[in-house]
Chain A
Amino acid sequence: MAVKSIIAENLVKHYRHGEVKALDGLSLEVEEGTVLSLLGPNGAGKTTTVRILSTLLQPDSGHATVAGIDALKEPAKVRSIIGLSGQYAAVDETLTGWDNLVMFGRLYHLSNAQAQARATELLAQFSLSDDARRPIKTFSGGMRRRLDLAASLIIKPRVLFLDEPTTGLDPRGRQEMWGVIENLVSEGVTLLLTTQYLEEADQLADCIAVVDHGRVIAEGTSDELKNRIGGERIEVIVAESDITRAAEVMKRISGTEVTIDKGVRRLAAAAPKGSQSLLELVRELDVEKIHPLDLALKRPSLDDVFLSLTGRPAEEDLPETDALATTGPKGRKAAKGGKK
């Protein structure tokens, strides 16, 4: 049997003296050396879960075990084997990258020489060596996140928690971050990753737990989740004048209803025979002299998964509860205008 590195059982957490339920019996398990992504919209309870597992927060009830250690009873032990990187770069911005890493190294009780050696190593690993002597203030968002991640890896943690590691990054920063995380995973760290980006979970995680209203509502690999809502679909974009005729053709091939988005002139329907259906459609459209502007065979996205599981799109924002989950009842960061 595979070893479970992280176990959460029936976690319940209320904020603001019970008025807001952040976690409502959330349970999850992560096998050693694998990546679990907690996927859900703002306010679903992702950050609260991470805060409990990383010993920052006590749940009202439930159990949490990290690498076999009871996180609620022996938080100090857990702290010495985990790494945590939050939603915003939690480093001292007035200091340089080097200063920060050496400081955190010292706080992990490395000797001065060890801390410096580790800082040099990490800066190189995260391509920050050239900027090591600049204050963090002057760093780009992506660089800050990388440094923040580096700071959480000083002791080579066995279990790593990354809370929305790419929120707020531009596409390039996100790609870089993904590369870095993939490298870490290949070295065998157990990772719990939260994200609002379905793409990200798809890319990085072995297993995905969809979270909504403080509980896991679905769990499985990306493929398993996608299969839940049916197979592949064909999407076609045609000229406005061709929409009606194209829809008829698609209906014939698909055998099911065609959804038409007039605004973007996109038609979508199930592809019962996968790529074979696509080929048929191409031939038929050619016969009808309809020239598609775009043509694609699509597997359902995790967006579709979320919609089918919850009946609402994943992007739906719940800023109120999100502020609570990330910052506590005082809404510390919410007052400052949300996360950066």
Chain B
Amino acid sequence: MISIKYSIIDAWVITKRQLMQLIRVPEVLVFSTIQPVMFVLLFRYVFGGLGAGIKGGYVQLLMPGIFVQTVAFTLAATAQGLAQDMEKGLIDRFRSLPIARSAVVIGRTLGDGLLNVVVLFVMGITGFIVGWRPSSSILHIGFGFLTLLLFGYSLSWIGIFMGLIARDARAVANITFLTIFPLTFLSNAFASTTTMPRALQYFAEWNPVSTMVAAARDLFGFHNTFGATAGSFPSQHPLPMSYIYMGLIMLVFIPLSVRRYTKKSR
């Protein structure tokens, strides 16, 4: 039997492989940071005027939104990375090794999660430079970032599943983009949901992205009133609701993905 100890070591070796890739091909790290930074700057200065009347300006509202959008895209990165490994036959090799069945998928989600640490750090600095000022305690801010990382991590597991079932890496890129992009915009991340059509408002309100954004705004000390159809559970309790969503996602997708990976006897 493969012991717990080796399951952890195996997963860590896979994670380390991704970190090594970042060292060998620094462009990946540069591009995964440049894009969110560019978004921060664009949104900050293009839509900055929307924030008239908001204390501290639009950037206080924007930063949590853009943090969430960025970590949400981890789903796409995970799915694509895995699909590429499968295409190259690397997954077959891993499967022929005497390692824990969970190692490859856990290793990948952790690797993508660690990349998010760097990306969020750089974005936070950028945000601070352009006027973002979290007003809560250092503990709240830390908890805010931790929650963001966990949110990205849980979505990573959907990415694993999509990567495992998809036909090829290019298809994965398209599908994940078409999923995440609308999901992050049909939310309270960049604009108030009050101006959306009624049906979209409901969707936006229950959208995990919205609850996560609202939770992050709260934790960073910017109280967010969260849209129009006030009174719904997610709008009242964004933080617990975010954790419920994360729990549900992982509860469903971790077993599903590990089973899919193990049984991939095609």
Q: Which residues of A contact B (CB under 8 A)?
A: 15, 51, 54-58, 76, 79-80, 82, 84, 86-96, 99, 103-104, 106-109, 135, 151, 327-333, 335-336
Among the 9-residue stretches B6-14, B114-122, B208-216, the one with 4 or more Cβ atoms under 8 Å from chain A is: B6-14
Report B192 CB to chain A, min CB distance, Å: 43
Residue in B2, B90, B96 whose CB lies within 8 Å of A82 = B96
Contacts of B103 in A (CB 8 A): 107
The answer to whether A135 and B266 have CB atoms under 8 Å apart is no
Are A329 and B266 within 8 A (Cβ)?
yes
What are 24 A-B contacts with C-beta separation under 8 Å?
Answer: A56-B265, A76-B2, A79-B97, A84-B96, A86-B92, A89-B89, A90-B88, A90-B92, A92-B90, A103-B16, A103-B20, A106-B9, A106-B13, A107-B10, A107-B94, A107-B99, A109-B6, A328-B266, A329-B266, A330-B167, A330-B266, A335-B167, A335-B168, A336-B87
Checking B20, B86, B89, B99 against A95 with a beta-carbon cut-off of 8 angstroms, the contacting residue is B20
A86 to B95, CA, bound (A): 12
Whether a CB of chain A sits under 8 angstroms from the CB of B17 is yes
A51 to B264 alpha-carbon distance, docked (Å): 12
The contact of B87 among A86, A87, A332, by CB within 8 Å, is A332
Enumerate chain B residues within 8 angstroms of A54, measured Cβ to Cβ.
96
Given A56-B92, A107-B97, answer yes or no on A92-B266 (Cβ-Cβ < 8 Å): no
CB of B55 closer than 8 Å to a CB of A:
no
Please indicate the chain A residues that have their CB under 8 angstroms from the CB of B87 in the complex: 332-333, 336
Contact of A99 among B1, B20, B95 (CB under 8 A): B20
CB within 8 Å: A-B pair count: 89
- B21: CB under 8 A from chain A? yes
Q: How large is the interface on B (under 10, 10 to 19, 20 to 34, 35 or more residues)?
A: 20 to 34
Docked complex Cα distance between A15 and B24 (Å): 39
- B155-174 Cβ-contact flags toward A at 8 Å (1 or 0): 00000000000011000000
Q: Which residues of chain A have C-beta atoms less than 8 A from B21's C-beta?
A: 92, 94-95
Assess whether A84 is in contact with B266, with CB atoms less than 8 Å apart.
no
User: Is B24 in contact with A96, judged by CB distance below 8 angstroms?
Assistant: yes
User: Which B residues form the contact surface with A (CB < 8 A)?
Assistant: 1-2, 6, 9-10, 13, 16-17, 20-21, 24-25, 86-90, 92-99, 103, 167-168, 265-266
User: In the assembly, what is the distance between CA of A86 and CA of B139, in Å?
Assistant: 51
Q: How far is the CA of A59 from the CA of B40 in the complex (A)?
A: 53
Give me the 8 closest cross-chain CB pairs, A-B, nearest first: A328-B266, A90-B89, A80-B98, A90-B93, A79-B98, A84-B96, A58-B265, A106-B13
Question: Which residues of chain A have C-beta atoms less than 8 A from B93's C-beta?
Answer: 84, 86, 90-91, 104, 151
Q: In the complex, what distance in Å separates the CA atom of A151 from the CA atom of B94? A: 11
For A76, the closest partner residue in chain B by CB is: B98
Residue of B nearest to A57 (CB): B265
How far apart are B9's CB and chain A's nearest CB, in angstroms? Answer: 7
Q: Which residues of B contact A151 (CB under 8 A)?
A: 93
CB nearest to B16 among chain A residues: A103
B95 touches A108 (CB 8 A): no
Between A54, A57, A92, the greatest number of chain B beta carbons within 10 A of the residue's beta carbon is seen for A92
Q: A94-B24, A107-B99 are in contact. List 16 more A-B contacts (CB 8 A).
A: A82-B96, A84-B96, A87-B89, A88-B89, A90-B88, A90-B93, A95-B21, A104-B97, A107-B13, A135-B25, A327-B266, A330-B167, A330-B266, A332-B167, A333-B87, A335-B167
Contacts of A331 in B (CB 8 A): 167
Distance (whole angstroms) from the CB of B63 to the closest CB of chain A: 32
Q: Which residue of B lies closest to A329 (CB)?
A: B266
Measured CB to CB, the closest approach of chain A to B19, in angstroms, equals 11
Chain B min CB distance to A228 (Å): 35
Q: How far is the CB of B4 from chain A (nearest CB, A)?
A: 14
Distance A11 CA – B197 CA, assembled complex (angstroms): 60
Residues of A within 8 A of B10 (CB): 107
Can you name the residue of chain A whose Cβ is closest to the Cβ of B25? A94
Cβ distance B85 to chain A, nearest Cβ, rounded Å: 8
The docked-state distance in angstroms from the alpha carbon of A329 to that of B264 is 11
Q: How far is the CB of A141 from chain B (nearest CB, A)?
A: 14
Q: Assuming A336-B87, A336-B168, is B96 touching A79 (CB within 8 A)?
A: yes
Do the beta carbons of A93 and B265 come within 8 Å of each other? Answer: no
Minimum C-beta distance from A78 to chain B (A): 9
